[in-house]
């Protein structure tokens, strides 16, 4: 049997991950099994060619490294939908994060069956998300912060907060949140002794510091963001109850704005949802998107905040007094 044919059989046997040395010999040529020396020479040839085979001493079998296979991945209907959704998210996000996700989706499609490849070429799934765009300077900053987070190294940078105040920060980056078209770094601020959230587009001149850190065992980026509408606020939990009309009940029920919530269907077709939130003010602003179809019921202080915000909005849209219009003044 030609050597190339034996090498192909050897690859197929290794891919199964169940063959011992004796079994490999038998699969290469059942009638005239090659010698141990020949098998080892073939294995060396495969290793030199880049095939990551390994020998499992516990089971006495040969196989490929975890995650590597010569076989195509056949995706189920749900898995194919997930792949298309991933490509849709990548398209919607755009920029650096979108490009990274799209590259991963392309790799998955390349090892999937022909049906998945055809579907990925013209996706039928569109996921709309806010699009975080990073210019050249911000892209470099994001890459540096990611590198620091992966290697557990501290970072120093300049920062401008939402009031315009400038400061220098020395932080340990724990993770990232993408929300509302912006990228945020969740980090421990060494100067302030507490976790803080930094908008990437407000970071300037970042540099990796010599200090290293250990990520706290109890830190979970999902848990950190679970009670915040935007995913960037944390604080003591507050229970807020909202009543939605039948017009938006289904949409409100489907909108998992925070992780912890309890739904109660109402006789009129509406729904009452109790949310556990970290920042009531942020939640009030979010609830206003439902207009008059949503009403914050309690607690009283959060309801009062919603009333005050509604009055401010009304005042913004109130018609100008006739005297102001006559005098040509503006509000």
pLDDT tens column, 65-98: 887 776 655 556 666 566 666 666 665 555 555 5
CATH of the domain at 149: 2.30.30
pLDDT band at 122 (very low <50, low <70, confident <90, very high): low
Residues 312 and 250 in one domain: yes
Domain-embedded: residue 59: yes
Domain-embedded: residue 52: yes
Domain-embedded: residue 57: yes
Number of independent structural domains in the chain: 4
Residues 57 and 84 in one domain: no
Which residue segment(s) compose the domain that 209 sits in? 141-219
Residues 163 and 209 in one domain: yes
Average pLDDT over residues 262-269: 96
Residues 309 and 243 in one domain: yes
Residues 161 and 94 in one domain: no
Domain-embedded: residue 200: yes
Residues 145 and 213 in one domain: yes
Domain-embedded: residue 136: no
Average pLDDT over residues 2-23: 85
CATH of the domain at 313: 3.30.70
pLDDT at 290 (0 to 100): 95
Cα four-point dihedral sign 41, 44, 48, 53: positive
For residue 331, pLDDT over 50 is answered with no
Domain-embedded: residue 132: no
pLDDT band at 256 (very low <50, low <70, confident <90, very high): confident
Please state, in angstroms and as integers, the Cα–Cα distance from residue 75 to each residue in 46, 78, 206, following that order.
28, 8, 42
Return the percentage of the chain with pLDDT > 70, whole number: 74
Tell me the residue ranges of DSSP E strands in the chain: 53-56, 61-64, 153-160, 166-179, 182-189, 194-199, 203-212, 238-244, 261-265, 271-277, 294-298
Domain-embedded: residue 147: yes
Residues 257 and 313 in one domain: yes
- pLDDT digit string, tens, across residues 31-56: 888 899 999 999 998 888 888 999 99
Residues with Cβ < 8 Å from 222, sequence gap 6 or more? none
Domain-embedded: residue 71: no
Which of 189, 219, 249 is the last residue in one of the domains? 219
């Amino acid at each position: 049997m030609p050597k190339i044919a034996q090498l192909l059989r050897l690859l197929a046997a290794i891919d199964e991950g169940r063959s011992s040395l004796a079994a490999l010999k038998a699969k290469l040529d059942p009638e005239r099994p090659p010698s141990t020396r020949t098998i080892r020479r073939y294995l060396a040839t495969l290793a030199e060619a880049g095939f990551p085979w390994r020998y499992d001493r516990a089971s006495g079998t040969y196989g490929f490294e975890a995650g590597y296979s010569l076989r195509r991945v056949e995706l189920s209907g749900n898995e194919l939908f997930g792949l298309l959704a991933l490509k849709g998210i990548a398209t919607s996000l755009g920029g650096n994060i979108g490009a990274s996700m799209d590259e991963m989706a392309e790799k998955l499609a390349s090892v999937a069956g022909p049906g998945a490849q055809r579907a990925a070429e013209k996706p039928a799934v569109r996921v709309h998300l806010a699009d975080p765009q990073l210019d050249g300077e911000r892209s470099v900053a994001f890459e540096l912060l990611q590198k620091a987070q992966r290697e557990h190294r501290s970072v120093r940078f300049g920062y401008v907060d939402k009031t315009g105040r400038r400061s220098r920060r020395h932080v340990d980056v724990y993770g990232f949140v993408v929300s509302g078209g912006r990228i945020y770094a969740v980090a421990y601020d060494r100067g302030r002794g507490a976790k803080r959230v930094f908008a990437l587009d407000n970071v300037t001149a970042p540099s990796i510091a010599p200090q290293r850190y250990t990520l706290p065992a109890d830190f979970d980026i999902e848990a950190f963001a679970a009670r915040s509408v935007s995913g960037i606020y944390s604080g003591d939990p507050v229970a807020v109850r909202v009543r939605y009309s039948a017009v938006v009940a289904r949409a409100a029920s489907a909108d998992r704005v925070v992780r912890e919530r309890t739904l109660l269907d109402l006789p009129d077709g509406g729904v009452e949802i109790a949310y556990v939130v970290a920042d009531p003010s942020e939640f009030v602003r979010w609830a206003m998107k439902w207009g008059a179809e949503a009403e914050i019921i309690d607690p009283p202080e959060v309801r009062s905040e919603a009333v005050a915000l509604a009055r401010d909005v009304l005042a913004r849209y109130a018609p100008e007094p006739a005297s102001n219009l006559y005098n040509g003044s503006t509000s």
